[in-house]
Chain A
């Protein structure tokens, strides 16, 4: 079965601390993995995707096929990073469907 798991509902860190939001997936083929972010009172938006291997707002994520993980990392958290983060999976035959994890709320304290 296709599944995305984000084990932490809430992650609270202090400004300047490292951040790692965990994401594990279950998929039999070759998935595309994404991280979406929802800031307060804003719409859900793409943060990054594994295929582009880029860093957005200081965040990076590496796809580990052996561990079926796609953890989101940032070395130094900022208060403006506080938001809800969703890990999502798209199947190998792209039909515009996404399977989302449960979401993790990141709270960055001053």
Chain B
């Protein structure tokens, strides 16, 4: 049981390049989310999903796309990378019920945009 797995762990991009951050979970969790972590700002929600085929925007969605074709996977796409997207990205999942089950986080992806 690996929990939440994020790949890659590190990535350097040039401005304007595109890439996909992968996130997979093996706990059959309905809810999945993407956050970015920046110094002094904590974690901010980018996009989230409450089940396969259902996604919605969080606090800072601009410049990012997501899709949820399966329960297990929730990739995050940067369409045209900008230096402002330099950050550490965390994927999280939790059980989809009303009892506010805790989030399980991945190890993060450290992304630098030059």
Contact surface of A with B, Cβ cutoff 8 Å: 4, 6, 9, 32, 34, 36, 43-46, 49, 51, 86, 88, 90, 94-103
**B42 touching A102, Cβ below 8 Å:** yes
B108, closest chain A residue (CB): A43
Q: Does B102 contact A (CB under 8 A)?
A: yes
Contact surface of B with A, Cβ cutoff 8 Å: 30-33, 35, 40-45, 48-50, 56, 58, 90, 92-94, 96-100, 102-103, 105-108
**A99 touching B100, Cβ below 8 Å:** no
Chain A residues with CB under 8 A of B107: 43
Given contacts A43-B108, A86-B43, A100-B42, contact A94 B58 (CB under 8 A): no
Cβ-defined partner of A44 (8 Å) among B40, B90, B94, B99: B90
